[in-house]
């Protein structure tokens, strides 16, 4: 998800279940590879990253059932079934990731 936090460069945060990438070293390699693949596929990504306009992406590893709990909570809050749930593409709320209680955050440093 795109992030533009106060007093920081914009960046993209990727959320994955820890069960998909349980090893932190592999998660870091995945994040580095993801950044490289995006640069290979999209010249704007490559240019903005090289210029320092867009900061390095981050990978938040979530507890295994975090997405299901979030969707269930949203559908209960809205009074709809999960078949009507639409995942937000852009989230402006800086604290939104906190809904998932990430296990950790992997950076490229």
pLDDT value at residue 6 = 64
With 70 as the cut, is the pLDDT of residue 107 above it?
yes
Closest to 105 in 3D by CA, of 4, 14, 8, 9: 14
pTM of the model: 0.85
Structure confidence by residue, pLDDT tens digits, 33-91: 999 999 999 999 999 999 999 999 999 999 999 999 998 898 898 888 777 788 777 77
- Residue 83 near residue 40 (C-beta atoms within 8 A): no
Structure confidence by residue, pLDDT tens digits, 1-39: 566 666 678 889 999 999 999 999 999 999 999 999 999
pLDDT value at residue 4 = 64
Of residues 84 and 96, more confidence is placed in 96
């Amino acid at each position: 998800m795109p992030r533009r936090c106060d007093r920081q460069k914009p960046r993209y945060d990727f959320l994955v279940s820890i069960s998909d990438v349980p090893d932190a070293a592999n998660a870091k390699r995945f994040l580095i590879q993801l950044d490289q693949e995006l640069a290979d596929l999209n010249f704007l990504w490559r240019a903005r990253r090289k210029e320092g306009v867009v900061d390095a992406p981050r990978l938040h590893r979530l507890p295994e059932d975090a997405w299901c709990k979030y969707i269930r909570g949203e559908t209960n809050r809205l009074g709809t079934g999960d078949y009507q749930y639409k995942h937000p593409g852009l989230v402006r709320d800086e604290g939104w990731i906190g809904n998932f209680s990430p296990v950790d955050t992997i950076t490229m440093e």
